[in-house]
Amino acid sequence: MNEIMTMTLTHEIVRSGAMLAGLLAVDYAGVFVALLADLRSGVAKAKRLSQPLTSRGFRSTVDKACRYYLTLFAMTAIDAMLVAAVMFLREFTDWNIPPFPLFTTVGAIGLGVIELKSIMENTNSGVALRDAAATLKGLLADPEIRKIAEKLLNKDK
């Protein structure tokens, strides 16, 4: 009888562990995909603005990834303690709380939202620049404004 309980308990731990590992993999992969999307939007913005791609920009992305994953790892450590407590409560009390990496998942969602905001800022700045260029082009189409602009530009020469 004791062997059957041990086998059932071991099976339960393995099943819960596999589920938790899968959820954590999704969290970590989601943050990685968000970082790659932000990197891509930053590179596209630099190309659109004819700015050089520098190692400083790539280094900041690596630094951001390190900070994000350090934060996520700390949240995973907290979740590990909580999951251990939940499994203890499930074993020795009547509580049936499912183990779930709550802090890691919430943290991954938060980091994904931050990256989404960064992507939107990169996209919106391009739209704003195109709007400004179109407005300037429209203004320079007016002969009087063009003459004033030419005088201002030639003033320093």
Residue 123: C-alpha distances to residues 42, 49, 60, 77, 141 (Å): 9, 12, 19, 35, 27
82 lies in some domain: yes
The domain tally of the chain equals 1
What is residue 142's DSSP assignment? Answer: S
Would you place residue 78 in the very low, low, confident or very high pLDDT band (cuts 50, 70, 90)?
very high
C-alpha count within 13 angstroms, C-beta hemisphere, residue 135: 6
23 lies in some domain: yes
pLDDT at 59 over 70: yes
CA 10/CA 129 separation, integer angstroms: 60
136 lies in some domain: no
157 lies in some domain: no
Residue 97 · residue 86 · CB < 8 Å: yes
Q: According to the model, what pLDDT value does residue 157 have?
A: 57
pLDDT at 134 over 60: yes
pTM (predicted TM-score): 0.70
Q: According to the model, what pLDDT value does residue 92 have?
A: 82
144 lies in some domain: no
pLDDT at 9 over 70: no
pLDDT at 5 over 70: no
pLDDT at 125 over 70: no
132 lies in some domain: no
Comparing 11-25, 29-43, 62-76, the range with the smallest average pLDDT is 11-25
| More reliable by pLDDT, 64 or 155 | 64
Rounded mean pLDDT of the chain? 83
Cβ contacts of residue 44 below 8 Å, gap of 6+?
122
41 lies in some domain: yes
Rg (CA), the chain: 27
Residue 94 lies in domain: 2-124
143 lies in some domain: no
Q: According to the model, what pLDDT value does residue 68 have?
A: 97
Structure-token pair, residue 94? 């009547």
CA 122/CA 130 separation, integer angstroms: 13
Helical H runs in the chain? 2-48, 55-92, 102-140, 143-154
